[in-house]
Amino acid sequence: MEGENKKQVPREGQKIRTMRKDIARLKGLEGPEAATREPEEEKIEIEKLREIARKKAEEKRRLEEKRVEEEVVAEKKATEEAPAREVEKEKAEEAKKEEERKLTEEERRKRTVQEEERIRREKILARKAEEQRLAEIDKEIENIELRKREISKEKRHFLTEIKSFKNRLEPLLKEESTIENKFREIEELEKKASPEKRSQIEKKRWEVDASRREIEKAKWQILEEIDKVKEEVKEVESRYQATSNEQDQLRMQEEEILQKRKEEELIREKAQLKIELSQIEQEKQIVGNKESELSVKEETLEAELAEVLKEEKITEEVIGEMENREKQISDPREQRKVEKERWKIEDDRKNLEKKRWDIEKEKKELSTLLKEVKEQYQEIVEKENLLKSRLREINLQLKISPEEDLLESAEAVVPEEKPKEKGEEGKPSSSPFAGARETEEEKIPEAQKKTAETELSEEERRKIIKEEMKKRIAQIAQERQEETLRRGREEFPEAKEAEIKKEAPETFISVVPERPSLFEKILIRLAIVSILLLVVAGIYWFFIKEKIKPPEEEITPLEEVTENVEEEIPPAEEEIIEEPVIPPSLISVDATETVEVAALSEIPSQLSQLLAKTFDTTGHIRILFENTTENKIVGLNEFFETFEITAPSGLLEKLEDDFTLFIYKDEEDNRLGFIVEIKENENPVNLMRSWEATMEEDTEKLFEALGRETSSTSLSFKGATYKNVPFRYLSFPQNNFGICWAAYGDKLLFTSSGESIIRSIDKLITQ
């Protein structure tokens, strides 16, 4: 650039020279003054102009260099900032994706919530529709009951008319019978009469026949009226049957709704039970693992304790040997050395004893903790068994077999596929509880391995201790022997050296005998058992066998045999009277009252007295009526017969005769009830539902004995549910009094109050 500037300067100067006149003209130097200017001033001017041009070129060059530097810096900065921008761009994209994911999850969550809300609303609407339908069915059933009562009243009216017609017909029939007898008598007389008297008899027969015709006309008219009324009765019965069928259809619909609701509740309860069982299984696994860990730790402590005890025993043996040796040493210096050695071993024993105390203390604490864990595990198992028992009951009620239940569980639990870790390829997949089992299975070999290592180290340690003790004792004995020999040489002649050596005590090492092997133990036990058997056989042969002799046949005279037989016959007065068999109670009771009656007619008065009695306990009190005449407990059939209860045909055949009669006592009243077992493959519910129309009338005498003052104000039975158990009831005006019945499992429950049936259902569920 400097070369270019140097080349440009002459051009600028040249231009300036060519423009001199213009410059002069601009400065007003044209004319004669311009010609008079000195050459030096022109040179100065030219230099100034050149300096200005040079400065401009320099400034331009600096600006160009600065621009280039800025471009280089900008390019370098752009190059350096490119990765950061890429990172920022990636972060921005990730943030955008995260935001989109959050929006998607939020939208999915909202959709899930909306779907759950929709399902909940549908369930609420369905439940409301069911409730509305149940209310409509109850209302329709009440209307049908009204219609049935009107039809029954109409039928009774027609039957009354028929009865009145029959009452009117009865004297006519008697009179007709009398006339017919008279007519036959006249005919007999007519046959025997003479021709003169026959005409009179025939006239009389005409009169009787006319009377009979009048009576027959009246009879025909009454019979026609009776036939008309019978047709009306048939029509009424047809309407009553149609109404009953309609009522049965409504009850079936009601039963279907209640059954569906019950099934839904059972399904929800089943799902909750499965969740609880899953949680219990996890708790069981945790507690089981803890128990396994504590058991392994306990085994380790036992192994350590056995090891310490063995070491302690060896130490005590060595100390005993050293004390024996110490007594035989007469030299005080030697005795001091042995005592110091004994001190060291006694210190070792002291440390072993401290260690044993610590292990025993830790083992005791561990045993207490292990006992608590086992009790906790047992509680979990009992709770699990209760839940499984309830789950089986639900499956039984839902008619689901165990195979179908397992299939449902397998379909419901879908295992998540986890990525295989390095080194796990090719291994078969395990169940959720396989880890716990593998852990327990791994722990047992480890414990056995540790025990084997402990035993091995124990033998080695024992050998080491023995070797050390042997060395110490041998060293002490050798030193003492050398000292004795040295003294002997000094004090006695050489001839006594052998004698002194002979008198010197030899080193004594106690060796613990090895334990016998398993095969040797079995042989020893078999030998002992064989010896015992031989001894027993010898005793039997010499002492018992000789005493057993075959009986000698003796001929007994006939008179003695007769006398003996007469002596063996017990007197009639000592005849054993058997107690009546009391059937087991079908429900847990708080007390039992036994009432003896000579005849069934005594039961109503005895029952009224029991209901008026004030019992010491509250709850269920079983009542047993013992028929002393027949020596048995009164059954259900006799109970119904006593109170003239008219049950539907076939109902009692579906029930067992042994039943549990009870009085439920609350804070205010005593209410009667009974529970009876349903025979296998029988279902009395439909018969009980059909009996509801006349149940109040059919049990009138029973409820009069129970204290009913007025009849029911309700038109029909109503349905309710307690703890998923449906029951039916008809209320009386008196407080907590009415007819209630329910079927639960294979038992039929009948009570005279709502409180007693609820408390009885509680007992049936929990027992």
pLDDT at 134 over 70: yes
Do residues 642 and 604 touch, judged by C-beta distance below 8 A?
yes
Give the tens place of pLDDT for each residue, 258-315: 888 888 888 888 889 889 888 988 888 898 888 888 888 888 888 888 888 888 888 8
Q: How far apart are CA 428 and CA 65, in angstroms?
A: 74
Q: Is the pTM of this model over 0.75?
A: no
The CA-atom distances, in angstroms, between 536 and each of 522, 525, 533, 548 are 21, 16, 5, 17
DSSP secondary structure string for all residues of 369-407: HHHHHHHHHHHHHHHHHHHHHHHHHHHHHTT--HHHHHH
Q: Residue 447 above 80 pLDDT?
A: no
What's the whole-number mean pLDDT along residues 443-454?
45
Q: What percent of the chain has pLDDT over 70?
A: 72
Which stretches of 613-728 are DSSP H helices? 636-642, 685-691, 695-698, 700-706
pLDDT given for residue 474 in this prediction: 59
Q: Between 319 and 749, where is the model more confident?
A: 749
d(CA 24, CA 332): 143
Judged by average pLDDT, the poorest of 415-429, 600-614, 660-674 is 415-429
Helix segments in 19-38, DSSP class H: 20-26, 32-35
> Where residue 664 falls among pLDDT bands split at 50, 70, 90?
very high
Whether the predicted pLDDT of 82 surpasses 80: no
Question: Looking at 32-36, 116-120, 459-463, which range is the least confident one?
Answer: 32-36
DSSP state for residue 512 in the 8-state scheme: P
682 vs 469, more confident: 682
> What pLDDT score does 458 carry?
52
* pLDDT-derived band at 405, boundaries 50, 70, 90: low
More confident residue, 767 or 643: 643
CA–CA distance from 446 to each of 342, 363, 450 (Å)? 39, 20, 6
Q: Are strands 670-678 and 747-751 parallel, antiparallel or unpaired?
A: antiparallel
515 vs 597, higher pLDDT: 597
Predicted confidence at residue 501, as pLDDT, reads: 43
User: Residue 634: what are its φ and ψ, rounded to 5°?
Assistant: -65, 130
pLDDT of res. 742: 94
pLDDT of 659 reads 94
Is the pLDDT reported for residue 749 higher than 90? yes
- 317 or 540, which is more confident? 317
Determine the average pLDDT of the residues in 643-651: 88
Kindly tell me the sign of the dihedral angle through the C-alpha atoms of 251, 257, 260, 262.
Answer: negative
pLDDT at 623: 93
| Structure confidence at residue 553 as a pLDDT band (50, 70, 90) | very low
Confidence tier at 129 by pLDDT (50, 70, 90) = confident
Beta-strand pair 591-597/619-627: parallel
Angle at 737 between CA 731 and CA 740, to 5 degrees: 65
Dihedral sign from CA coordinates of 105, 107, 108, 114: positive
Could you tell me what percent of the chain has a pLDDT over 90?
A: 9
Annotated domain spans of the chain = 258-409+436-508, 520-547, 591-766
φ/ψ of residue 508, rounded to 5: -115, 125
pLDDT at 74: 79
Is residue 327 predicted with pLDDT exceeding 70? yes
**Residue 733: pLDDT above 90?**
no
Strand ranges in 102-247 using DSSP code E only, listed in sequence order = none
| pLDDT for residue 504 | 42
Q: Give the highest mean pLDDT range of 325-334, 477-486, 517-526, 646-655.
A: 646-655
66: number of CA atoms within 13 Å, CB side? Answer: 6
Give the other-Cβ count within 10 Å of 761's Cβ. Answer: 19
- Strands (E) in 216-260, as ranges, are none
Mean pLDDT over residues 581-607, rounded? 89
Residue 760 has pLDDT above 90, yes or no: yes
> Looking at 431-445, 659-673, 748-762, which range is the least confident one?
431-445
pLDDT at 410: 56
The residue behind tokens 């048939």 is 234
pLDDT at 519 (0 to 100) = 58
The stretch 142-147 carries a mean pLDDT of 86
Using the structure block, give the residue that is written with the tokens 């006149």.
21
How many CA atoms lie less than 13 Å away from 616 in the CB half-sphere? 3
Rg (C-alpha) for the chain, rounded Å, is 60
Of 486 and 639, which is predicted with more confidence? 639
Six-digit token pair at 301? 């402590």
* Distance between CA atoms of residues 148 and 569, nearest Å: 70
Q: 473 in helix, strand or coil?
A: helix
